[in-house]
Amino acid sequence: MKKTLIALVATLLCTTLNAATKTYVADDNTMILNPERGFYHYSDIKLKGDGTGGLTNNSGGITSCRLDKTTLLFRYFYLNKYNDGSAITDKDLALIANDFKVARENGIKIIVRFSYGSQGYKSDNNWSFTEPSKEGMLAHMAQLKPVLAANADVIACVQAGFVGIWGEWYFSSTFGKDWSLPNKTDAKAARNDIINGLLDMTPVDRCVQLRTVHYITEYIGNGSRDYTTQLDDQTAFNGSAQARIAHHNDAFCANQENDGTYYEYAKERPYLANLGQYVPLGGENNGGSSSYNNGAKVVADMELLHYDFLNTEYDASVISTWRDNKPAGSKLSYYEIMQRRLGYRLQLKTWSMAELLDPQYPLHVWFSMYNSGFSNLYNKRIAYLVLKNDKHTYRLPLKSDPRLWKSGQTTDVHEVLTLPDDAVEGVYKVYLYMPDVYESIAANPAYAVRLANKDMPWTEDGMNDLGITFELRKGVPFDALDEAKVAALSTKYIKDNKLYIRRHGKIYNALGM
């Protein structure tokens, strides 16, 4: 028992008392390329049945992403040829799969939407459109399901689509012009069938964005709008239908109601402000009033609602005003601010860990991470502490979920990491690494998360160099440690014959708890 206690005390001393703390400088100005966030470019394809016309490495949307340093491509798959309900041909299914392959080769992820056409609208009372029956739509979703499942790695999210002109759930020949309106009792059951079909079609770890808030609240409330059952840190990311339903707004900041996006403005915006912390929100501006679409108002709404992405091409006249104007005293235009802050922008503030450790002991790490972006990561991602030298590399997964490193907040993390049994003595450099969780693209640095710090080198393989060296040495005695560092970082004291450490305002026992 005495030997065990000595070992526990030695663990804490070796992992805490020789700790070094490094402070980092935030970078709020540099445009940093990161996956699944930012402005997106637009692309579409009208399937013809013969499998021709898909993306290539030289397609407009792909080259625009490459030249504009954009990591997201919106892709419309128009199913006009199948508006009679006939089965999608194998050639067209192969075309869709190849589009994802091209995106993968270019380090891009796709926002997916299917629609039966964009033609036929002249006015709210003068339109014509043809689409399949509900059963035909669900059959197409079933055909598309394996294609999407095989390419989930490069799907950012899926927008509802299918119903109505542009797939925006307005002006539907099958369900009627007004099926989108709230309180349409005869439409709610059909809407739920379509939503369930979309959730089934979409990979289980990806979200489906619905066009209006009342679609979401009525689905969650089984027909009645439910604003009280909201996601939180415990219920988000659990794979439930609610945790996978998100929102896209194709009239963002057009006017107060965003052209019919909001029906209960005072209730729906707070609801979205919470929802946007956990699922992707994005869309496009379609013009509207300068009282609502001016840069200052748009930035404020993006921050409030936690926006992840927006169309960089539409509405062009509105976007030009964002490019041409800037807040007083700012070096950046409103557009440049949006470029940098859409989605997440992670900035490391401090990092503390041992400089010297016997590899038999656990490694304690403390760090503080600030997120200056409008939003948070929404797809699963694991952060790793990486120890690397010329001969050996050890990747130690962190338990802290990067999706909960929230916008506008500093997240303080304490991790207790176990080194491999065969860890080799030596001096290592320390990195923070956040690759994609899919093995198919995990090694591609284009899909890894880069921190926004001025003093943070980015390696060729997509790791954040923390500028710290760390030594593994067996049999490190306590009296070899630097007591000056102990005094600077910690206070040790004995209470009831037990050793405790006070560090950064927190108290840890000999287990580091």
What confidence score (pLDDT) does residue 127 get?
A: 81
Per-residue pLDDT averaged across 115-140, rounded?
90
Burial 417-429 (b: 16+ CB within 10 A, else e): bebeeebeeeebb
pLDDT band at 126 (very low <50, low <70, confident <90, very high): confident
Is residue 323, in this structure, part of any structural domain at all? Answer: no
| Same domain as 416, residue 383 | yes
Sequence-separated contacts (24+) of 388-393 with Cβ below 8 Å? 388/428, 388/429, 388/431, 389/426, 389/427, 389/428, 389/429, 391/424, 391/426, 392/423, 392/424, 392/426, 392/428
Specify burial of residue 276 (Cβ count, 10 A radius: 0-12, 13-18, 19+). Answer: buried
State how far the Cα of 4 lies from the Cα of 501, in Å rounded to an integer.
18
| Same domain as 171, residue 125 | yes
Per-residue pLDDT averaged across 143-153, rounded?
98
Give the pairing of strands 498-503 and 490-495.
antiparallel
Give the least confident one: 233-247, 320-334, 345-359.
Answer: 345-359
pLDDT band at 296 (very low <50, low <70, confident <90, very high): very high
List the domain range (segments joined by +) for residue 111. Answer: 38-315
Share of the chain above pLDDT 90, in %: 79
Mean pLDDT over the full length of the chain: 90
| Same domain as 117, residue 19 | no
What confidence score (pLDDT) does residue 256 get?
A: 96
State how far the Cα of 315 lies from the Cα of 285, in Å rounded to an integer.
6
The answer to whether the CB of 344 falls within 8 A of the CB of 277 is no
pLDDT at residue 506 above 70?
no
88 DSSP assignment: P
Is residue 324, in this structure, part of any structural domain at all? Answer: no
Is residue 328, in this structure, part of any structural domain at all? Answer: no
| Same domain as 352, residue 500 | yes
State how far the Cα of 179 lies from the Cα of 400, in Å rounded to an integer.
43
pLDDT band at 184 (very low <50, low <70, confident <90, very high): low
Per-residue pLDDT averaged across 156-162, rounded?
98
Which CATH number is 215's domain given?
3.20.20
| Same domain as 14, residue 57 | no
The answer to whether the CB of 326 falls within 8 A of the CB of 376 is no
| Same domain as 418, residue 282 | no
Per-residue pLDDT averaged across 228-250, rounded?
98
Is residue 235, in this structure, part of any structural domain at all? Answer: yes
Is residue 309, in this structure, part of any structural domain at all? Answer: yes
Number of structural domains (the chain) is: 2
What is the sign of the dihedral through the CA atoms of 255, 258, 263 and 264?
negative
Is residue 271, in this structure, part of any structural domain at all? Answer: yes
Per-residue pLDDT averaged across 175-195, rounded?
79
| Same domain as 140, residue 96 | yes
Is residue 353, in this structure, part of any structural domain at all? Answer: yes
The answer to whether the CB of 33 falls within 8 A of the CB of 69 is yes
pLDDT at residue 112 above 50?
yes
Is residue 322, in this structure, part of any structural domain at all? Answer: no
